[in-house]
Every structure is written in C-alpha cells, then in structure tokens.
Amino acid sequence: MARMPLISGNWKMHHNHFDAIALVQKLGYVLGKDDLEAVEVSVHPPFTDLRSVQTVLESDKIGIALGAQNCHWEEKGAFTGEVAPPMLAKLNVRYVIVGHSERRELFGETDDDVNRKVKAVLKAGMTTILCCGETLEEREAGGTDAKVTGQVLAGLDGLKADVVGGLVIAYEPIWAIGTGRTASAEDAQAVCGLLRRTVAGKWGAAAAESVRIQYGGSVKGDNAPALMACPDIDGALVGGAALEAESFAAIVQFRLAAPQG
C-alpha cells in the first residue's frame, strides 16, 4: 500500500512549553532516521507551546511535523481567545486536528463549525485531521455507521476530490478515548473500511485510495501492531501514550514489535 502511515500525538491540555521542549528533544533522540522515514510523525502541543516546539524541531532538524489541536475558521477578527489558521501556518504547522470529540462534546462544535474549520485550514495551506466517532450508546444501538459517515460527509462537504485525497480522517470511538478500552482491530478496520468506501462513493476511487485514515482511542505500543496491520488503517491519533517519549516511540516503532499471536 502506497499510503505513508501518519502517527500523531495529541497532547491535549498537557505540558507547558518547558515540558514540551524536553519531550520533543527526547523524541528526536529516541526516534531514529529510519523510524521517521518509514512513518510520518506529528506532534500536536497546546498553542502556548507551538513556537518553542517549532524552534526545537527546526534547529535540531528533527523530522517530526508540527500540528495543532484546533483553530477558528476566520482569518482574523474580534474572536477573543481564538487562534486563526494563518497564525498556525506561520509557525510551520502542517496538520490541524479538527472536530475532535472533546471539542464537539465539551465545547459544542457542530458539523457546520467543523466544515468551516476544515475549509479555513486548507485555505491557509495546512492539512486537516478530521475526527469522527460514536458514543457507546450509539454503538450499542447500531448507530456507528450512520454517525461516522454523517460526520465525515458533513465535515468535508464542498471539497473537491483531489483535496479530499490529500487529507487525513481519524476514526476515534468515543468510548475508547482515554479509557484503556481500545476497539478490536476487526472493529476498527470495519469502520475505517466503511469510511474509505464513503469517500469513494462521494469523491471517487482515487481520493479514497490516497486519503489517510487513522484510528484513535487508547492506542499503545502493544496494540499498535495489530491496528496498523489493518488494510484501511493508515496511522494512529494518540492521546495518553503520546505524553512520554518512550510510550510514543513504541507506537511509532510498531514494526519492531514481536508479531502478535
């Protein structure tokens, strides 16, 4: 498969800029050139850390992409407390997570907001990691497929096929986030396969073939190999295990793990 895996560390609201500098320096040390050629890696620190992390990545020539966790959809204006996509682009941010379930559930982000953010990120020359995922109640009621396809179609509404083909989608079942309870590789593959077919249905085979689909939700070094072996899973969006260099490196180095069962 020609798709380059993307493993992204979503630090959420953890690590001040001093801790952030120490973590990326350590990552630069534990991740070798081979690791970073086989897998694309991004880190998504809090906004206050971005400039410091950018400086370390660039001055130490660490081949890790800089990411953000969120942004506003306007380029500038009277939006107290918000951060505009061009400000992120100026820091050489490459990937912006959009529509994470914590943004949707805790801060009321709608599919409409998410779609506006996706377009704003693209306009500023960056790439989105568009998140989707179902709650436990929705899964138990058989609503997973409708929820995730609805979120992806709404989030990417109005985009052209060649643009969609360059994006990243993250399937993150909400019941698996931060719970230690990960989806089985079979369940994760089933939903990621469905998402790829959804992209094919709306934007065509070429976009579906090149769009990258991450799985997220309690990904760790020990479950990463089975997840990454799935044909429609092209990487991972990692929360808790991304907060320390060793546990994040163990995921990035999933190929080194002993084959499971």
Q: Answer yes or no whether residue 177 interacts with ligand PGA by CB under 6 A.
A: yes
Q: Please identify, among the stretches 54-62, 77-85, 153-161, 233-241, the one whose residues bind ligand PGA according to the rule CB under 6 A.
A: 233-241
Contact status: 189 vs ligand PGA (CB under 6 A): no
Minimum distance between the CB of residue 59 and ligand PGA, rounded to whole angstroms? 28
Q: Is 10 in the site for ligand PGA (CB under 6 A)?
A: yes
Q: Does 251 bind ligand PGA (CB under 6 A)?
A: no
Is 216 among the residues that bind ligand PGA (CB under 6 A)? yes
Among 32, 63, 125, 178, binds ligand PGA (CB under 6 A): 178
Q: Is 172 a catalytic residue?
A: yes
120, 73 Cβ separation under 8 angstroms: yes
Is 45 near ligand PGA (CB under 6 A)? Answer: no
Q: Which is nearer to ligand PGA, 167 or 219 (CB)?
A: 219
Tell me whether residue 44 or residue 72 sits nearer to ligand PGA (CB atom): 44
* Residues contacting ligand PGA: total by CB under 6 A: 13
Distance from C-alpha of 140 to C-alpha of 121, rounded to nearest angstrom? 34
User: Which stretch, 31-39, 63-71, 187-195, 238-246, contacts ligand PGA (CB under 6 A)?
Assistant: 238-246
Alpha-carbon gap, residue 255 to 39, rounded angstroms? 10
Interface with ligand PGA (CB under 6 A), residue from 71, 237, 249, 252: 237
Residue 248: closest CA among 19, 42, 34: 42
CB of 177 to ligand PGA, least distance (A): 4
Site of interaction with ligand PGA (CB under 6 A) = 10, 172, 177-178, 216-219, 237-241
Q: Which residues are catalytic?
A: 100, 172
